């Protein structure tokens, strides 16, 4: 710029010396300004070049973040039209290349579009963040989502959509677990109260039958009363099994042996049109459980499978080992780390609809016709498995069949040899003095009547304090305390401790409808026994005679 201006001025004034000093100063000022301008331009160009590179890098990094992030990000215009989106396309209900330009409120799922429409309007009206939840079928399965809509500049809206299917399933499992626990508590309470009633019915039926002429129509009526009461007792046992309040006779078991013991019975029960197939793991992990209860679990599931295959089919029983190195949720069951023996029972029957599965373990829930089921079979299975420390899961496909899997924790000891003890015989009539403590009047009256009828002297009390008073007033020895465990003011266990301190030779027979009240610590000393309600008069007399024939350990 400087040389160009000087040439023009020399041409105008004739020579360089003829150029006035003022013009020379002007030329230098203009040239300096242009040089500064060029420097600024070059600096700006360099800055723009760097900014463009940084912006490209930032955009690349942001795209990588969006692709890795589990959420979907939608940029919407004021009308809800999708301008852009980022994130994984696995949760999109349409192909990702087709989504740009569509309105988010036009999603073709009943109720979902309306929810987005209302949310968009609320964002526009209030300029606040709005959250909605919805579900929709994607790739053949129902998925749950949470969408948060945020107002942005230039009337745009950002929608952040998160897949919450796993969280929703965990919440449903928790609710189901809490519901089953509440039902179990209710069932256990009902069974306890009902057991007291049945104890009186069974006991008086025994007394009545003992006095009626053999073969008379009155004896037949009495026998029917007893049979009906025993059926009621069987129902309460199933309720107690569901509520995990049964008294278990635990042993170290090989599940393969238990399956073998019931296999022949199963073949008779399921009929000739159903094929029974067993596939047993030869090195199966041992478990700690009640063998009788495990047999009941297998029988109940097998009978349930038989009823699902009226036209015939296949029933499969399989055992296997499972080793978990860390806590795991498997098929909806929360399992701690460790070894498990798995018992799997499958059928090729009618199967169950998905909406039925969450309720199948509830007491009295049944899909069978009226009169063909109590609805307690699977509830009993559930209770036994849970009381044994295990978990049970079910898979079912309509018209294809069902599979129940039972996971029982492995035991460290070896399996114990199984033997069946012969039933104890009822001893001769007694003569001893028995202190009876029972707060239920009908049960107390029955027990006193039964014991007095076979020769015992009975002191009956309505509670713990009353029993202590009677013991203090009685001048002679008291050979046996028969006490309910759950009583107001003072429990049967506390009463027994106080009386045994005074009368060391006294034996104790505990009665209860609650297995979890079983006084294990006290009974470890010997000289005591437990009789679960409801019981017959014969069972009561037999247990007392056996107990009075033993000595308490020092």
Which range (41-50, 290-299, 301-310, 499-508) has the least confidence?
A: 41-50
Residues 195, 306 share a domain: no
Q: How many domains does the chain have?
A: 5
- Which range, 32-36, 50-54, 343-347, 388-392, is most confident? 343-347
- Give the per-residue pLDDT at 526: 67
Residues 120, 51 share a domain: no
Query: Quick check: is 400 in a domain?
Result: yes
With a cut of 50, say whether residue 539 has pLDDT above it: yes
Which range (15-24, 110-119, 238-247) has the least confidence?
A: 238-247
Query: Quick check: is 419 in a domain?
Result: no
- Alpha carbon distance 320, 405 (integer Å): 10
Query: Quick check: is 483 in a domain?
Result: yes
> Last residue of a domain, which of 21, 43, 67?
67
Residues 359, 267 share a domain: yes
Query: Quick check: is 418 in a domain?
Result: no
CA distances from 252 to 255, 299, 524, 547 (A): 10, 20, 20, 27
- Give the per-residue pLDDT at 454: 86
> Last residue of a domain, which of 163, 182, 204?
163
Residues 439, 404 share a domain: no
Residues 517, 482 share a domain: yes
Residues 530, 489 share a domain: yes
- Alpha carbon distance 397, 394 (integer Å): 10
Q: Average of pLDDT values for 309-337? A: 86
Query: Quick check: is 540 in a domain?
Result: yes
Residues 74, 52 share a domain: no
Query: Quick check: is 281 in a domain?
Result: yes
Query: Quick check: is 197 in a domain?
Result: yes
Predicted confidence band at 369 (pLDDT cuts at 50, 70, 90)? low
For residue 22, the enclosing domain spans 2-67
CA angle 46, 52, 54 (to 5 degrees): 105
Residue 23 CA, chain-centre distance (Å), reads 98
How many CB atoms sit inside 10 A of residue 380's CB? 24
Environment class of 88 (CB within 10 Å of its CB; exposed 0-12, middle 13-18, buried 19+)? middle
Residues 403, 300 share a domain: yes
- Give the per-residue pLDDT at 80: 86
- Alpha carbon distance 345, 299 (integer Å): 10
Q: What is the pLDDT of residues 291-312, one digit of tens each?
A: 878 888 898 899 889 988 988 9
CATH code for position 337: 3.30.565.10
Instruction: Give residue for tokens 């060391």.
Output: 504
CATH code for position 109: 3.30.450.20
Higher-pLDDT residue of 105, 285: 285
Predicted confidence band at 282 (pLDDT cuts at 50, 70, 90)? very high
- Give the per-residue pLDDT at 276: 93
Residues 269, 151 share a domain: no
Q: 103 is written with which tokens?
A: 């309105």
With a cut of 90, say whether residue 344 has pLDDT above it: yes
- Give the per-residue pLDDT at 419: 44
Higher-pLDDT residue of 140, 296: 296
Residues 530, 401 share a domain: no
Ranges of H-type helices in 127-216: 165-211
Residues 522, 489 share a domain: yes
The mean pLDDT value of the chain amounts to 78
- Alpha carbon distance 463, 441 (integer Å): 10
Q: Is 397 helix (H, G, I), strand (E, B) or coil?
A: strand
Q: Average of pLDDT values for 452-475? A: 91
Predicted confidence band at 314 (pLDDT cuts at 50, 70, 90)? very high
> Last residue of a domain, which of 137, 163, 189?
163
- Alpha carbon distance 208, 214 (integer Å): 11
CATH code for position 498: 3.40.50.2300
With a cut of 80, say whether residue 477 has pLDDT above it: yes
Which range (304-313, 330-339, 391-400, 496-505) has the least confidence?
A: 330-339
User: For residue 130, what is the enclosing H or E element?
Assistant: strand 130-138
Predicted confidence band at 48 (pLDDT cuts at 50, 70, 90)? low
Contacts of 126 (CB under 8 A, 6+ apart): none
How many CB atoms sit inside 10 A of residue 364's CB? 13
Query: Quick check: is 153 in a domain?
Result: yes
Residues 94, 73 share a domain: yes
Taking the alpha carbons at both ends of the chain, their separation in whole angstroms is 122
């Amino acid at each position: 710029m400087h040389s160009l201006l000087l040439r023009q001025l020399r041409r105008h004034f004739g020579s360089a010396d003829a150029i006035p000093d003022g013009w020379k100063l002007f030329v230098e000022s203009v040239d300096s300004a242009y040089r500064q301008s060029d420097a600024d331009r070059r600096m700006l160009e360099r800055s723009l070049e760097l900014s463009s590179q940084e912006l490209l890098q930032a955009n690349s990094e942001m795209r990588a973040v969006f692709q890795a992030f589990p959420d979907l990000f939608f940029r919407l215009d004021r009308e809800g039209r999708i301008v852009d989106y980022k994130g994984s396309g696995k949760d999109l209900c349409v192909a990702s290349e087709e989504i740009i330009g569509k309105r988010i409120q036009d999603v073709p799922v009943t109720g979902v579009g309306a929810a987005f429409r209302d949310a968009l309007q609320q964002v526009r009206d209030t300029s606040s963040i709005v959250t909605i939840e919805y579900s929709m079928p994607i790739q053949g399965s129902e998925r749950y989502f949470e969408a948060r809509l945020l107002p942005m500049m230039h009337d745009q809206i950002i929608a952040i959509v998160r897949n919450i299917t796993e969280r929703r399933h965990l919440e449903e499992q928790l609710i189901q677990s809490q519901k089953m626990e509440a039902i179990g508590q209710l069932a256990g309470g009902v069974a306890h109260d009902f057991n007291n009633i049945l104890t009186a019915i069974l006991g008086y039926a025994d007394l009545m039958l003992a006095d009626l002429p053999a073969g008379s129509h009155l004896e037949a009526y009495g026998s029917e009363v007893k049979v009906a009461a025993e059926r009621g007792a069987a129902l309460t046992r199933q309720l107690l099994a569901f509520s995990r309040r049964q008294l278990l006779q635990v042993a170290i078991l090989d599940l393969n042996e238990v399956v073998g013991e019931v296999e022949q019975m199963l073949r008779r029960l399921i009929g000739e049109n159903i094929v029974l197939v067993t596939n047993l793991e030869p090195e199966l992990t041992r478990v700690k459980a009640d063998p009788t209860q495990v047999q009941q679990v297998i029988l109940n599931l097998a009978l349930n499978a038989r009823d699902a295959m009226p036209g015939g089919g296949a029933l499969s029983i399989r055992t296997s080992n499972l080793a978990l190195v860390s806590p795991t949720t498997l098929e909806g069951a929360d399992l701690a780390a460790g070894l498990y023996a798995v018992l799997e029972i499958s059928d090729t029957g009618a199967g169950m609809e998905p909406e039925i599965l969450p309720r199948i373990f509830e007491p009295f829930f049944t899909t069978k016709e009226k009169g063909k089921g109590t609805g307690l079979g699977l509830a009993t299975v559930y209770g036994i498995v849970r009381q044994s420390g295990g978990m049970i899961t079910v898979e079912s496909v309509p018209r294809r069949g069902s599979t129940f899997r039972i996971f029982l924790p492995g035991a460290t000891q070896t399996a114990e040899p199984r033997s069946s003890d012969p039933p104890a015989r009822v001893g001769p009539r007694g003569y001893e003095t028995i202190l009876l403590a029972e707060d239920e009047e009908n049960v107390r009256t029955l027990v006193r009547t039964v014991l007095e009828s076979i020769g015992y002297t009975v002191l009956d009390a309505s509670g713990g304090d009353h029993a202590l008073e009677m013991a203090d007033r009685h001048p002679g020895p008291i050979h046996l305390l028969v006490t309910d465990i759950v009583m107001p003011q003072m429990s049967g266990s506390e009463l027994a401790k106080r009386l045994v301190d005074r009368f060391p030779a006294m034996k104790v027979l505990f009665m209860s409808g609650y297995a979890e009240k079983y006084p294990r610590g006290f009974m470890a000393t010997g000289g005591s026994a437990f009789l679960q309600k409801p019981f017959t008069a014969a069972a009561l007399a037999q247990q007392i005679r056996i107990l009075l024939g033993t000595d308490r350990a020092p």
